[in-house]
Amino acid sequence: MTTVLKPAQAELLKDEKAYLADLLATLTAFKHPPEELADLRQALLQLDELFLIVVAGEFNSGKSALINALLGERVLAEGVTPTTTRITLVKFGEQKQESFGASGLVVLTFPLDLLRELNFVDTPGTNAVVREHEELTRDFIPRSDLVIFVTSADRPFTESERQFLDHIRAWGKKIVFVVNKRDILAGENELREVTKFVADNATRLLGAAPEIFAVSAKQGTRMDELRAYIHSWLDETARLRVKFANPLGVAEQILKLEHARLTHERAAVQSDAEMVDTVAREVTTYASEVQSELGARLAEVDNVMLRLQARGSDFFDQKFRLTNLPDLARGDRFRARFENQVLTGVSDQIDHHVQSAVNWLVEKDLRHWQQVAAFLAKRRTIVADGVVGQVSTDFDLRRQALLDSVTQSAQTIVREYDIEAESRALGNAVESSVAQMALVEAGAVGLGTIVTLLVSSSALDVTGVVFAGVIAVVGFFIIPYKRQQAKTRFKEKIETVRQNLNRVLTTQFHSEADRTLNRLREGVAPYFRFVRGEKTRLDSVEKTLANASDELQHLQARVGTVFGK
């Protein structure tokens, strides 16, 4: 098309091309498959192409004959059987010639001046015998500037035509209806009836009354009216306006799809974020429960030590007297009674309470892993069910693959969690820590035995300085002093052991709880990062699409200003 553009039109053309190029680059950066952007690429190319008229309808409705009648030349083959089995682009050429392009497109050139300005596209029937022909026709519609929809007078507005028109409507194309073969109708009444039937159905489908022309392409009946309408509608200004508006219409349609995709992904990420919050709360709950419940567990061990201290003090009050001089004079007998009356059972009690705390923490670890795995499994099922029967986007596929991986990892940990082995490992770690505190080898003696040895090793060393000869002379003065000294040293020893034991146990149990927390966090970290990353990405996409939509509206308004409404 050789049209000298006015300055405002030239400036608009430059800006529109720049906009479409930027939008194409932006959507390409979003990593959409190339085929999704084919229509936008074509819209950009369309600004450098001639005005395009697509003729569509069922086979044998007379599409090829109509094009020939409009051109005034027998350019296309005609017949009672489907003669158009490929999409045929009719354009100007110095001689009549056919060439085959991509995707089954046939380019037919013909030396006709009208084709210097207008290109016609003859399509296979909407009910084409070969299914891929119909699909090619559907793919070609977005490239069109005007659609002439041909329906036959003997079978007007068929179901296949209705379905095809529904597809065209989604692209907002200008559609002119042609009822062909009017000559086969009995009279004007039957013609009005057919025309009304087409008008009613088209209005119901498209939401507005269409332009309808009843013609006979073969006989040339009423073709002048159709030509006049096309020429009046496609005068220079109107033709350019459509030329400028159609690519923006394609961009608008694609942006609608992008906004729909964004809405879908936003909803998905929001649901994922809620699940992430649930898992995060579960991790926080675990840490809180360990913090609040561990003190009570370790208090039971502490109470054993406090009761031991009370029994020791009472023992010294009762046994460190002049009436027990024979036992005091024999340290081994006194020590034996101390161990029997004060230390008996302490080892077993400490072992019992510590093992109970170990079991409690190990079972809590497993229970929280089970809960996290259950959250993930439920989310995984919801995500999988949400894409059943749908074409998954790259976002859906990445999201589901990552959720599958995280869920499987959590389930593997739960499935392979060995409570007995975990309990033994934690028990050995606690025993080893206490042994290191005591500077003795733990071996296989047990935690309670270690503590008992710590207490008894120096608690009674004061009794060895009490000899019968000394007691006989100064017993009234030595005995009370030595009793108080023994009680004080025993209390100090118990307090030292109690504090050290509490510190070591608290440190060890918190260390184990931190290890579980870290495993929980590391286990779901990839999905957490995905959700955070997608939220950030979608914020950026939303801003980009909003800007693109605003600029599109501005360009569409300029088209209205430059070419008139």
pLDDT at position 412 is 78
Give the whole-angstrom CA distance, residue 107 versus residue 99. Answer: 5
Give the whole-angstrom CA distance, residue 233 versus residue 241. Answer: 11
Span 534-541, average pLDDT:
90
**Residue written as token pair 């052991």:** 497
pTM: 0.54
Residue 221 pLDDT exceeds 60: yes
Give the whole-angstrom CA distance, residue 278 versus residue 294. Answer: 24
Backbone angles phi, psi at 144, to 5 degrees: -80, 155
pLDDT at position 469 is 42
pLDDT at position 474 is 47
Average pLDDT of the chain, as a whole number: 79
Cα radius of gyration (the chain): 45
pLDDT tens, residue by residue, 483-520: 777 778 878 887 887 888 888 888 888 888 888 888 87
Of 384 and 21, the one with more pLDDT: 21
pLDDT at position 387 is 52
Give the whole-angstrom CA distance, residue 66 versus residue 448. Answer: 103
pLDDT at position 31 is 73
The strand pairing partners of 211, in sequence order, are 176
E strands, 207-364, are 211-214
pLDDT tens, residue by residue, 150-168: 999 988 988 888 888 887 7
pLDDT tens, residue by residue, 247-268: 899 899 889 988 988 888 888 8
Q: Which domains does the chain have, with CATH numbers?
A: 48-258 (3.40.50.300), 278-536 (no CATH)
SS3 of 147, please?
strand
Give the whole-angstrom CA distance, residue 214 versus residue 234. Answer: 20
Tokens representing 11 are: 């400036």
pLDDT at position 484 is 79
pLDDT at position 151 is 93
Q: pLDDT category, 1, cuts 50, 70, 90?
A: very low
pLDDT at position 16 is 92
Residue 27 pLDDT exceeds 50: yes
Of 74-83, 348-357, 478-487, the range with the highest mean pLDDT is 348-357
Residue 342 pLDDT exceeds 90: no
Cβ 216 vs Cβ 222: under 8 Å: yes
Residue 430 pLDDT exceeds 90: no
Span 205-234, average pLDDT:
88
Cβ 16 vs Cβ 252: under 8 Å: no
